[in-house]
Structure 1
Amino acid sequence: MEDKEIPTVNLTVTPLQQMMASCTGAILTSLMVTPLDVVKIRLQAQDHQYPKRRCFLYCNGLMDHLYYCDEGSHKAWYKKPGRFSGTLDAFLKIIRNEGIKSLWSGLPPTLVMAVPATVIYFTCYDQLSSFMKSKLENDAYIPIFAGILARLGAVTVISPLELIRTKMQSKAFSYKELHLFIRRKLSQDGWISLWRGWSPTVLRDVPFSAMYWYNFEVLKKWLCKCSDNHESTFAINFTAGALSGSIASVATLPFDVVKTQKQTQLWRYETSKGSHVLPTTTWDIMKLIVAKNGISGLFVGLIPRLIKVAPACAIMISTYEFGKAFFLKQNLKKTQE
């Protein structure tokens, strides 16, 4: 398939069109990356069964979600029997024995959070970038500041919703019970309790966003120069997205490890019934990890994270840029009519 030139985005691409492009990219990214995580979880489950009242992290390519284990029923998708010798064997056996739809098990409920978060993030980034470019002469560091502000906004909006979604899944609350739970939570701990886990998420996602957008813009310009293209092509956006995502992923991995630890502690605490106190601050969790496993403990899971993040970033940004280019062409046609 021949690459087509993607025009530079300007104000003729409306916020609504940016939202539509990011929504399309989010859905496509989830559809293409989720099977990798489903296979990973199934491979892990055959060696270490997920016990009742425990959770594991599930990634749809856009966000990590806590997936709460049910009462032990083998009907759950992550507990279905099957012996796999490796990743390819797992793919083939799942498709043959359970149908191809099983590769997207657990995806629909996670999209409820991932799609809005992605739409907010990408649309805010473009709007902030356009605004800053109109006000500042030096645009070299605009991707950093726009990326930071856009991610802060997306995390702040989505964090309470993610906490509520996870709680609903873990306890099978009705909407009435959920309403009572939220009221009790607010009366006991205040509004700030709805943003539990916000700080480790920000510590991971904000630096990631700053590095990702800065490196993406730099790599995109460099690749355009090397290939003698005045505008970025689909292939250039895809390559720049994968490389910048990989760089940011490695740099922010320690915060990802801390975030995972802090999320799963919620359920360990509930099942321990207060028998011992668990560290809660980001710094305390980091010190505990280093004390147990050394500095290398902060970089556990590097390869699995790269396998998920690199293709997800590449698919998302290239689809998003292609979508904006499509809308830009449509808008230009309308102005010429």
Structure 2
Amino acid sequence: MSNAIANGVAGAGAGIIAQILTYPLQTVNTRQQTERIAKSKPKPPAAPAGTLLQILHVVRTEGWGGLYSGLKPSLFGTAASQGIYYYFYQLFKNKVEAIASTRKHKGRGDGTVGIFSWLLVAALAGSLNVLLTNPIWVLVTRMQTHTQAERKIMESKKESLLKEASENSLIASRLQDKLAELDSTKPHPYGTIHAAREVYTEAGISGFWKGIIPTLIMVCNPSIQFMIYESSLKRMKEKRGANNKHGLKNVSALEVFLLGALAKLGATVTTYPLLVVKSRLQAKQEIGGNVSLRYSGTLDAIMKMIRYEGLPGFYKGMSTKIVQSVFAASVLFMVKEELVKAYMFLIDKIWKVPSNVINHV
């Protein structure tokens, strides 16, 4: 097994662990991002302020399952995404390191990989990952925001009833019964197949690649993340005079955790507005309840968000995302590097066995 495959498998495993640990935060954050309220309209009382209060609100109104809506496709998506990303990242990383080494032998350069090369490696790996896994994340976003969308639809129906009741006395006499009926209606079960059918019905096959433009632009997020991470790791190793073929024996798991947190923090703050636009495009469009808050594409979403919500609309839920993504990235980096170390250790043991057997014969 090559080190690219080893990193791919380790990345997939670490990604699953990080996803399970932080998924409730991710669910709440996606709902925060897709909450579309024009700056002229008052905020609805149904959505409590604060991440912890929102988590408790979801548990109280939807049960624990509400926090884990879409978890199955998300875990599959995480495994596929991290596996694909780390496989190609390591593959391209090996190539640029080989090129740098060749240049050194020819008297050009010192054999180290520059920051631009790290950015290019991360961007190429990220672009391939996005193109292959975007349909999964469209479904996950739909499932995470399904209850929120249903609530918006119910609110719209209530507004219509109240408007009709003010114009028709017959409807007004039955208003309370109709409102009570709407209040008692619970969101229907919403699984992966249902979400896939809904996306296909709305937009056909192209619907599974909604948000692809901001997502591709967001490739700079892991690029920035890995640039900070690799540069920081390189400086740390150089400072300690690290020089071993397995790379991380002189860097502890806690240090990798902290480096991962620092890298993800910088990347998240820089690219968060694009993440909000992507979530808006992938969520069910009826969630806005108003044509002015529904989007036909990336540019349309950006223009309408600026016009109707102002710049704060691009940063909805950022504090939640910072906590979730930084913790997830830190866990991912730490677990992934430990899995790679375990793999290298096992490979060393396996390679030593034949020589020992030969000596005993």
- Bucket of the pairwise TM-score, normalised by the shorter protein: 0.5 to 0.7
**Would the alpha carbon gap of residues 219 and 85 (structure 1) be closer, same or farther in structure 2, given more than 3 Å must change?**
closer
Is the contact made by 1:132 and 1:142 (CA closer than 8 Å) also made in structure 2? yes
Name the SS of the counterpart of 1:252 in structure 2.
helix
Is the contact made by 1:18 and 1:123 (CA closer than 8 Å) also made in structure 2? yes
Partner of 2:223 in structure 1? 210
Q: Which has the larger radius of gyration?
A: 2
Partner of 1:307 in structure 2? 323
Q: Determine the C-alpha separation between the residues in 2 that align with 1:293 and 1:179.
A: 31
Q: Determine the C-alpha separation between the residues in 2 that align with 1:148 and 1:286.
A: 23
Q: Determine the C-alpha separation between the residues in 1 that align with 2:133 and 2:309.
A: 32
Q: Determine the C-alpha separation between the residues in 2 that align with 1:19 and 1:228.
A: 28
Q: Determine the C-alpha separation between the residues in 2 that align with 1:289 and 1:330.
A: 52
Partner of 1:336 in structure 2? 352
Which residue of the other structure, out of 112, 135, 148, is the alignment partner of 2:76? 112
Q: TM-score, normalised by structure 2?
A: 0.63
Q: Say whether 1:154 aligns with 2:129.
A: yes
Partner of 1:133 in structure 2? 97
**Would the alpha carbon gap of residues 228 and 239 (structure 1) be closer, same or farther in structure 2, given more than 3 Å must change?**
farther
1:106-134 per-position Cα deviation (integer Å, ceiling 9, x unaligned): 52342122221111111111111112221
- The Cα shift of 1:237 comes to 1.4
Counterparts of 1:1-337 in structure 2, within 5 Å, are: 13-37=2-26, 40=28, 57=31, 87=52, 106-136=70-100, 137=103, 139-140=113-114, 141-163=116-138, 192-204=206-218, 206-225=219-238, 231-264=250-283, 266-268=285-287, 278-337=294-353
- The Cα shift of 1:85 comes to 9.8
**Would the alpha carbon gap of residues 173 and 22 (structure 1) be closer, same or farther in structure 2, given more than 3 Å must change?**
closer
Which residues of structure 1 form unaligned runs of 5+? 1-11, 42-55, 59-63, 67-82
Q: Determine the C-alpha separation between the residues in 2 that align with 1:183 and 1:266.
A: 13
Q: Determine the C-alpha separation between the residues in 1 that align with 2:190 and 2:19.
A: 25
- Count of equivalent residues: 279
1:13-56 per-position Cα deviation (integer Å, ceiling 9, x unaligned): 44443232122201210222124446x57xxxxxxxxxxxxxx6
Give the fraction of aligned pairs with identical amino acids, expressed as a percent.
17
- The Cα shift of 1:196 comes to 2.2
Which residues of structure 2 form unaligned runs of 5+? 35-47, 104-111, 147-188, 244-249, 354-361
Is the contact made by 1:148 and 1:209 (CA closer than 8 Å) also made in structure 2? yes
Q: Determine the C-alpha separation between the residues in 2 that align with 1:87 and 1:15.
A: 39
- The Cα shift of 1:215 comes to 0.6
**Would the alpha carbon gap of residues 320 and 309 (structure 1) be closer, same or farther in structure 2, given more than 3 Å must change?**
same
Q: TM-score, normalised by structure 1?
A: 0.67
* AA of the residue aligned to 2:52: T
**Would the alpha carbon gap of residues 314 and 104 (structure 1) be closer, same or farther in structure 2, given more than 3 Å must change?**
same
